Amino acid sequence: NAGVTQTPKFRILKIGQSMTLQCTQDMNHNYMYWYRQDPGMGLKLIYYSVGAGITDKGEVPNGYNVSRSTTEDFPLRLELAAPSQTSVYFCASTHAGGAGQYFGPGTRLTVL
Amino acid sequence: RKEVEQDPGPFNVPEGATVAFNCTYSNSASQSFFWYRQDCRKEPKLLMSVYSSGNEDGRFTAQLNRASQYISLLIRDSKLSDSATYLCVVDMDSNYQLIWGAGTKLIIKP
């Protein structure tokens, strides 16, 4: 039981490049989330999903896209990377909307 | 006003001491409350949920005060391994989204 896994662990992008951050969970959780964490700040919700085929915007969705074709996978797509997207990105999952969430190890992204 | 506020610290505490910190939240309709810990450059990990009647898990006690809209975390007999940032988390009334505090940094000294 690996829990929540994320790839890559680190990435440096140039301005204008695109990439996909991968997230997979093996706990059969319906709810999945993408957050970003900037230094000294609380986590900000980018997108979330309550089940396969259903996604919705969080607090800071601009510049990102998601899809949820399976229960296990919830990839986050960055289009036209900007320096403001330099952050640590965490994926999380849970079995119910009001329950505690379980996190992957994060992806550290730098946009130069 | 921030939706979830925490004292950023750091709290410097000697090993074996008791330490407590609070977190205030702005949404009176919130129903779910959590404490997470986050080690440096690691992911947040669920420490405990916070229930209306208060709850305890070993050396950790969490309490909720709905009237004053704050939650608290008490750590007794602190260990060096308790050094971390403690994140206060509160749900929005939609119940799908959580609002995260910026965290309180705790340093336990030998």
Please give the residue of chain B at the shortest CA–CA distance from A5.
B43
Is residue B35 within a helix (H) or strand (E), and if so which, with residue range? strand B33-38
Q: How far apart are CA B35 and CA B47, in angstroms?
A: 5
Q: Is the CB of B97 less than 8 angstroms away from the CB of A101?
A: no
Q: Cβ distance A31 to A49 under 8 Å?
A: yes
Q: Which of B:20-39 have CB within 8 Å of A?
A: 31-32, 34
> What's the pLDDT score for residue B31?
87
Q: Cβ distance A104 to A4 under 8 Å?
A: yes
- C-alpha torsion A102→B106→B19→B101, nearest 10: -50
B92 — pLDDT class (breaks 50, 70, 90)? confident
Report the gap between the CA of B42 and the closest CA in chain A (Å). 6
Average pLDDT along chain B: 93
Average pLDDT along chain A: 94
For residue B4, which residues of chain A lie inside 8 Å, CB to CB?
42
| A72: pLDDT strictly greater than 90 | yes
- Asked if A45 is an interface residue toward chain B (Cβ–Cβ < 8 A), one would say yes
B93 — pLDDT class (breaks 50, 70, 90)? low
Concatenating the DSSP letter of every residue in A28-67 gives --SEEEEEEE-TTS--EEEEEEEETTEEEE-S--TTEEE-
A45 — pLDDT class (breaks 50, 70, 90)? very high
Q: Which among A40, A59, A105 has the least Cβ separation from residue B43?
A: A105
Q: Which among A45, A90, A102 has the least Cβ separation from residue B97?
A: A45
| A40: pLDDT strictly greater than 90 | no
Q: Cβ distance B44 to B36 under 8 Å?
A: yes
> What's the pLDDT score for residue B2?
67
Query: Phi then psi for B82, rounded to 5 degrees?
Result: -80, -10
pLDDT 10s digits, B64-77: 999 999 999 999 99
A96 — pLDDT class (breaks 50, 70, 90)? confident
For residue A56, which residues of chain B lie inside 8 Å, CB to CB?
96
For residue B30, which residues of chain A lie inside 8 Å, CB to CB?
none
B97 — pLDDT class (breaks 50, 70, 90)? confident
